[in-house]
A = this chain, B = another copy of it.
Amino acid sequence: MKPNPHATTDPYMQLLGLETRLVTPGRAIVAARVGPQHTNIHGACHGGFLYSLADAAFALASNAHGVVAVALSTQMQYFKAVQVGEELEAHASEENLGRRTATYRIEVKSGSRTVALFIGTVFRMQES
């Protein structure tokens, strides 16, 4: 597995309609517009879609150092329901960068409102 610090998208992001707006080491912004294909049994945006948006930003931010980073543990807090037509942005920033692990915070925003908060920790793989 070769790290690609310049990757800005992947097949899963394309399936979901996620658009990368920024990737730098430790930071990323990914955006999406919620469509009818992203809804749950209640007709609102699916929690798995909100998570996937945050997770995409997490993956880009954590791999942009040029070391392969794989997710170990993540956590998601849902604050507000999101409806079809809302424009979302996930903003990833680095909480901690260690040698073998690193932790990121991702805020999912709809305009100025934070609708969900994601915290994730990666394992950083090393050549040996």
Name A's B-contacting residues (CB within 8 A): 1, 4, 7, 10-12, 14-16, 36-43, 46-49, 51-53, 55-56, 59-60, 63, 68, 70-81, 95-96, 98, 100-101, 103, 114, 117, 119, 121, 123
Chain B residues within an 8 Å CB radius of A123: 100-101
Given contacts A117-B96, A123-B101, contact A51 B55 (CB under 8 A): yes
Contact, CB under 8 Å: A95 / B72: no
Complex formed: what's the CA distance from A70 to B43 in Å?
A: 12
Contact, CB under 8 Å: B72 / A72: yes
Contact, CB under 8 Å: B74 / A59: no
Chain B residues within an 8 Å CB radius of A7: 41
Contact, CB under 8 Å: B11 / A119: no
Considering the complex, give the chain B residue whose CB is closest to the CB of A56: B48
Considering the complex, give the chain B residue whose CB is closest to the CB of A121: B73
